[in-house]
Structure 1
Amino acid sequence: MPRLFTGLELPEDVAFDLDLMKGGIIGSRWIDRDSFHITLRFIGDIDDGMAREIAYALDGVEARPFSLRLKGLGVFGGNKPHTLYAGVEENADLRRLQSIHERICQVLGLPPEGRKFTPHVTLARLKDPDFHSLHGFLASHSLYKSRGFEVPRFVLFSSRPSRGGGPYAVEESYDLHDRQSDDWRGAREGAA
């Protein structure tokens, strides 16, 4: 029974920059650079038949490539922080792509995602972190901003059940393209 989610990969240089930040927080377990990603829709543990249906439905997604930028750091968990992350600059194309994935999952019978979509890259899992070192880390990286990068595709990932997730495998990848523009371009070339 695979555990699946959809997401975006990071360019190697952006992942490398995030990897350079590791360290300095007592009570943290840092995520491997190869596992950095932006989750679009967590699907969870499903049977092989449903996994095939999802993979097939995702092939019909119509969305054009877009640019993204990571911006700022934060923590999830409020007074009991459990996750350190890099945020993602607000992006309408990203939100549109995520809502398409959400609709596909619901149409196929999966329950709606219970959490609000907060795009991010998980950097570390925290367990009783030292607040002084955590606040110092956040303060020293508060102005973090990645370079802008193109998102040419999204991915269907699988993971083995483990604490904190990972390692992740790419099950399928789906190129982003504007099919309406492709259809128009093809019709125009055919008329020439």
Structure 2
Amino acid sequence: MPRIFTGLEVPEAIGDDLARLRGGLLGARWVEPEDYHLTLRFVGDVDDRTANEIADLLYAVRKRAIEVTLTGLGAFGGDRPRSLFVAVKQTQPLMELQAEHERIMRRVGLAPETRKFIPHITLARLGRDTTARTAADWLALRGLFLSRTFIVPSFVLFSSKESVGGGPYLVEESYPLAA
């Protein structure tokens, strides 16, 4: 298996709404709408045995369907912005699902994730020429972002080929959450 990660898929209608935000920022590499997702745990490149073990262990996750609320727009990177994203409300069920994925990855021998989990959906990756000012201007012009809520009935094991800007992403396995 190539590079893998776990996440939540974005419904097509929500993806269509988010796609309307594309454009207006020179040097941005926009994520394709069909590749919008919320990463729960990035794994990276692993051998087939480890990938299969992760895929099998994920079947043991027993959580309820999750309500996901998009709350606004932001940029990661501060003075040197790296990406634009849609923020996702940190709810207890979402944080518990992510923590369960982290425990599974540690059980298979992967190093713990060092970055704090900040739920989001990446819209674009930014080039070195994007300044904090141009990113702030882009965000300001879209400041009336209306939050949206949707129910996620499953989580997914994704794979991707190593590329600049990510994607395309393939669903390797889908794991239902209880209704």
CA contact (8 A) 1:5 1:42 kept: yes
Cα drift, residue 132 of structure 1 = 4.4
Cα drift, residue 131 of structure 1 = 4.5
- Secondary structure of 2:148's counterpart equals coil
Matching of residues 2-151 of structure 1 within 5 Å: 2-127=2-127, 128-151=129-152
Gaps of 5+ in 2: none
What is the rounded CA distance, in whole Å, between the counterparts of 1:142 and 1:96 in structure 2?
30
What is the rounded CA distance, in whole Å, between the counterparts of 2:134 and 2:76 in structure 1?
16
Deviates more, 1:49-58 or 1:67-76: 67-76
Cα drift, residue 69 of structure 1 = 1.0
Larger radius of gyration: 1
Letter in 2 for 1:155: V
Deviates more, 1:130-139 or 1:167-176: 130-139
- Which residue number corresponds to residue 153 of structure 2? 152
- Secondary structure of 1:121's counterpart equals strand
What is the rounded CA distance, in whole Å, between the counterparts of 1:133 and 1:77 in structure 2?
13
Give CA-to-partner distance per residue, 1:120-149, whole Å, 9 cap, x none.
111011112154442222112234233210
- Which residue number corresponds to residue 190 of structure 1? none
Give CA-to-partner distance per residue, 1:154-176, whole Å, 9 cap, x none.
00000001112111000000000
Which structure is higher in helix share? Answer: 1
Name the % identity: 51
What is the rounded CA distance, in whole Å, between the counterparts of 1:130 and 1:98 in structure 2?
32
Give CA-to-partner distance per residue, 1:85-134, whole Å, 9 cap, x none.
11001211100000000000001100001111011111011112154442
Q: TM-score, normalised by structure 1?
A: 0.89
User: How large is the RMSD of aligned CA atoms in angstroms?
Assistant: 1.3
In the TM superposition, structure 1's runs of 4+ consecutive aligned residues that sit over 3 Å from their partners are 130-133
CA contact (8 A) 2:7 2:38 kept: yes
